[in-house]
A and B are shown apart, each in its own frame.
Chain A
Amino acid sequence: DAKTTQPPSMDCAEGRAANLPCNHSTISGNEYVYWYRQIHSQGPQYIIHGLKNNETNEMASLIITEDRKSSTLILPHATLRDTAVYYCIVRPSLLTQGGSEKLVFGKGTKLTVNP
């Protein structure tokens, strides 16, 4: 079962920041937060992951609360091509004891970017 809770849908105006929340109140100390997205009719695509520090890459930023019970994925300047289902997943890192390669996908958040 997925260990995360996400809103089923969100809307965002093109050019504005999209902030996608995720609750993971039962996260364990060795579990990372991963974000993937799935554009219509395509396979899921990795976006970013983190443990407790904020992370940024060319696609997005990940903000994790200090207690690690929730996080927010930020797309700083959303475009129409960012319309997709966004999945938040918690999983033990492969580099830690008990690490697993398995990804358990929940229902995700359907983000619609409007012109």
Chain B
Amino acid sequence: DAGVIQSPRHEVTEMGQEVTLRCKPISGHDYLFWYRQTMMRGLELLIYFNNNVPIDDSGMPEDRFSAKMPNASFSTLKIQPSEPRDSAVYFCASGTSGQETQYFGPGTRLLVL
């Protein structure tokens, strides 16, 4: 099992540019989570999906952020336009009904200049 796959692993962009982060969950998992981690705020849940449907997006900071899950094996988190305060590590995690655990990917380190 390859685990949760995220791409890119590192992203450096300039303020105002669009950023797209990608996630491939573990095969067979029906839950997908997007988290953001910063020194100031720690690890925060942004949004999560169940069976490709967004369940709770209350953690999404503002309209510049959007997330989609077009199918069970792929999700994107988009920031448009990006700002320096969006610099963080973004983690994707997946899980399955009946299990109490979430499996995290290696994260995408985003730096917005």
Question: Nearest residue in B to A101 (C-beta to C-beta)?
Answer: B31
A86, B42: Cα distance in complex, Å: 13
Q: Do the beta carbons of A43 and B105 come within 8 Å of each other?
A: yes
Contacting residue for B43 out of A41, A44, A93, CB 8 A = A44
Which A residues, 56 to 115, have Cβ-Cβ distances below 8 Å to chain B? Answer: 87, 93-95, 101-107
Residue in A45, A103, A105 whose Cβ sees the most chain B Cβ within 10 Å: A103
Chain A residues near B45 (CB-CB < 8 A): 102-104
Q: A41-B107, A42-B107, A101-B55 provided; 12 other pairs, C-beta below 8 A? A: A42-B104, A43-B4, A43-B106, A44-B104, A45-B104, A93-B100, A95-B98, A101-B50, A102-B48, A103-B45, A103-B102, A107-B42
Mark each residue of chain B from 29 to 70: 1 if its CB lies under 8 Å from any CB of chain A, else 0.
001010000000011110010100001100000000000000
A42, B106: Cα distance in complex, Å: 5
A114, B97: Cα distance in complex, Å: 39
Q: How large is the interface on A (under 10, 10 to 19, 20 to 34, 35 or more residues)?
A: 20 to 34
A107, B56: Cα distance in complex, Å: 22
Chain A residues near B4 (CB-CB < 8 A): 43
Mark each residue of chain A from 28 to 66: 1 if its CB lies under 8 Å from any CB of chain B, else 0.
000010100010011111100100000000000000000
A51, B101: Cα distance in complex, Å: 14
